[in-house]
Amino acid sequence: MSANPKPVEPQREMTEEDFQALMAAEFWLAKINSAGGTLPYQGMWIAVYGEQIIDADRSEEELDRRIEARGDSINLFRVLVRYVHTLDELSSQP
């Protein structure tokens, strides 16, 4: 065994498992949204990881910055970011 092991290369592309995880998060979000679970996040961008909202902010850029700052603590390819419309925004759509 080498005294200086080669560092693990960071993941550069989304895998099939990452895609499946994103789709599962999307379905989970639709389910809790229909049950009113996203009402506290109206007018905000939310980050979903698995079956959990891990962060939220009115600024998409600020949310992205905080998610990127998590580094290797989470698989960034599995973070779903969505905007939660306000009731006024939804009622004003044609």
Tell me the domain boundaries of the chain: 16-91
pLDDT at 52 > cutoff 90: yes
Question: Taking the CA of residue 10 as centre, how many other CA atoms within 13 Å lie in the half-sphere pointing to its CB?
Answer: 8
Question: What pLDDT was estimated at residue 90?
Answer: 80
Report the phi/psi class of residue 9: left, alpha or beta, with left for phi > 0 and alpha for psi in -120 to 50.
beta
pLDDT in tens, 11-32: 678 999 999 999 999 999 999 9
Centroid of chain to Cα 55 = 8
pTM for this prediction: 0.82
Q: Alpha-carbon distance 74 to 68, whole Å?
A: 10
Q: Is the pLDDT reported for residue 69 higher than 70?
A: yes
